[in-house]
Amino acid sequence: MTRRVGICGIAVESNALAPTTRLSDFEGFFYGAGDALAAMLDGNPRYDAFRAALDATGIDWTPVPLLLATAESGGPVAPDDFEALLARLLDEVDRAGPLDALWIVGHGAGTLRPRSDMDGPYLAALRQALGPDCAMVALFDYHANISDEMMRAVNASVGYRTNPHTDINARSGECGAVLGRMLGGGQPHTAWIRLPLLTPQIVQRTDVAPMHGIMAEVERALADRDVATASVYPGFALGDTPDNGFSVVVSSWTGADHAAAHLSRIAARAWSERDAFRADLKDIATAIALTRSGSGPWLLADIADNPGGGGRGNTPHLMKALLAGGIEGVQVVPVFDPALAAEAHTLGEGAVFTARFNRDETAPHSDPFTHDARVVRLTDGVFHHASGLAAGLTGQYGPSALLELGGVRVAVTSRRRQTLGPSEFRHFGLRPEDAHIIVAKSRGHFRAGFRGVVPDARIVEVDAPGLVTANLASVDWQGLVRPIHPLDPIPDGWPDTAVIKNRPEEKKNASP
């Protein structure tokens, strides 16, 4: 019997400090339904990995593309727009007919305006529409804020295990393997816990402490063949919801107690490392001074303006300081400014003019400024990612322009994207290896792309103003459940709220 496997998802990482995410943000980033989604999945390396893993289980199956909508990280989603998007998804589910399984390509840190879980409600709606017997496995981002409603809706979740996220294809394959075993009769028993631990994203790298050791405990769990999947979700702090924290999720083929035993060990390791999650940021002046101490390339990470975390990708503070200091050999890619990009296209290559940055912006920290500029290069903004977490995918900047402002060359784009690697620099005719300073509008995913180009010793994380600050003490928190470390004193041990939970139908299988 051929099993029908639906493919769908609504995905966004919501920053409570950022402007509202609208339906158009999904439609303009990655959006497809039915046959259009099928065409978009053709040749997609993540779907190819999922398909190959599910094929390898021997299950006779056919894909049923439903609706997949992803937006660049931004503010909480407007409730009316979310309802419209969910209605479209449920219409596709209704049109598709009976489904045996569902692969959800999600994120896990979406919220609705002002500060409520988005992922739980849409996953619960899918569960209600498809019934209790439909096997549902979700792919979540490493930064997911795990809610109880999310976990009760799906049978299992698979989270990325690398940060930067270079294992998305592998984790997509893991989803296929888990779903295949479920279709063959296996039943995962899922346990989860959320620790009262808030961590800035820049200290969540998996190749260094403290996450490196925590991930070793995850790998230890995965070495147990009775473990279906195990994930840690350090979370996205700036979601600022009751679901913020450090979550651990383990699914076992043999029972909830078995899952809980592995989960307890991983959670204990994470809690023991809680004081190691400290950010080492440099103010703008100190960061620039460091670049004078040796030859480049240096990379200054403008982490608080990371579009991948809800930043606008256009704050001028670091670039203005570099211009004021007369620094030569600076490359900034990208800066989001559709109006300026359009003006440069109208003027043409070689034109000299007064560039007015952020003339249409109203977001905090996206201050307007002007500077004499020359149009060096115009592009359509379409390029190929050759390295890093987006390797093999097409980049879409929209109509874009490379401008020269004294010793600074800046790529101005029409679409808001974070810096991922050298490919986007080369698209504009730049050679990042020859730069003295590279400015990356990114929290950390650039590291995967720039390996071999910029050594870690020349990467400086800058404490500049922006919507994606790593300085957690500076945020006016509204939605967190308190107390939470490191904002509040917490006695040794976990408070009563940090308890291991299970899906309701699995509790009866747990030992007393």
Band (512; pLDDT cuts 50, 70, 90): very low
pLDDT of residue 506: 55
The answer to whether 135 and 116 are in contact (CB under 8 A) is: no
- Using one digit for the tens of pLDDT, what is the confidence trace for 19-51? 999 999 999 999 999 999 999 999 999 999 999
Label residues 4-18 b or e (16+ Cβ within 10 Å = b): bbbbbbbbbbbbbbb
Q: How many residues are listed for the chain in this entry?
A: 512
CA distances from 206 to 164, 245, 372 (A): 8, 17, 42
The yes-or-no verdict on residue 494 having pLDDT over 70 is no
Q: Which of 9-13, 323-327, 493-497 shows the lowest per-residue confidence on average (mean pLDDT)?
A: 493-497
pLDDT of residue 503: 79
- Say how far residue 420 (Cα) sits from the centre of its chain: 12
Residue 280: exposure state from Cβ atoms within 10 A (0-12, 13-18, ≥19)? exposed
The yes-or-no verdict on residue 409 having pLDDT over 60 is yes
Q: Which percentage of the chain shows pLDDT scores above 70?
A: 97
Q: What is the mean pLDDT of the chain?
A: 95
pLDDT of residue 498: 80
pLDDT of residue 204: 97
- Of 97, 223, 111, 222, residue with least CA distance to 159: 222
Question: Whole-angstrom Cα distance, residue 29 to residue 462?
Answer: 28
* DSSP, residue by residue, 442-479: SSSTHHHHTTTTS-GGGEEEB---STT-S-GGGS---S
**Terminal C-alpha separation, the chain:** 38
The yes-or-no verdict on residue 504 having pLDDT over 80 is no
Question: Whole-angstrom Cα distance, residue 338 to residue 357?
Answer: 10
Band (491; pLDDT cuts 50, 70, 90): confident
The yes-or-no verdict on residue 426 having pLDDT over 50 is yes
* DSSP, residue by residue, 138-207: EEE-TT----HHHHHH-SEEEE---SS---HHHHHHHHHHHHHHHHTT---EEEEEEESB---GGG--SS
pLDDT of residue 505: 61
- Using one digit for the tens of pLDDT, what is the confidence trace for 184-217? 999 999 999 999 999 999 999 999 999 999 999 9
The answer to whether 241 and 114 are in contact (CB under 8 A) is: no
CA distances from 426 to 145, 280, 377, 431 (A): 35, 30, 12, 6
Band (511; pLDDT cuts 50, 70, 90): very low
- Using one digit for the tens of pLDDT, what is the confidence trace for 131-175? 999 999 999 999 999 999 999 999 999 999 999 999 999 999 999
The yes-or-no verdict on residue 373 having pLDDT over 80 is yes
- Say how far residue 39 (Cα) sits from the centre of its chain: 24
The yes-or-no verdict on residue 495 having pLDDT over 90 is no
Cα radius of gyration rounded to whole Å, the chain: 23
Residue 481: exposure state from Cβ atoms within 10 A (0-12, 13-18, ≥19)? middle
- Say how far residue 360 (Cα) sits from the centre of its chain: 26
- Of 228, 338, 211, 270, residue with least CA distance to 485: 270
379: Cβ–Cβ under 8 A, 6 or more apart, which residues? 397, 399, 400, 401, 402, 427, 428
504: Cβ–Cβ under 8 A, 6 or more apart, which residues? 152
Question: Whole-angstrom Cα distance, residue 284 to residue 297?
Answer: 17
Secondary structure element (H or E) that encloses residue 357, with its range? strand 352-357
The yes-or-no verdict on residue 507 having pLDDT over 50 is no
The answer to whether 53 and 174 are in contact (CB under 8 A) is: yes
Count of alpha carbons within 13 angstroms of residue 8, beta-carbon side: 27
- Say how far residue 299 (Cα) sits from the centre of its chain: 21
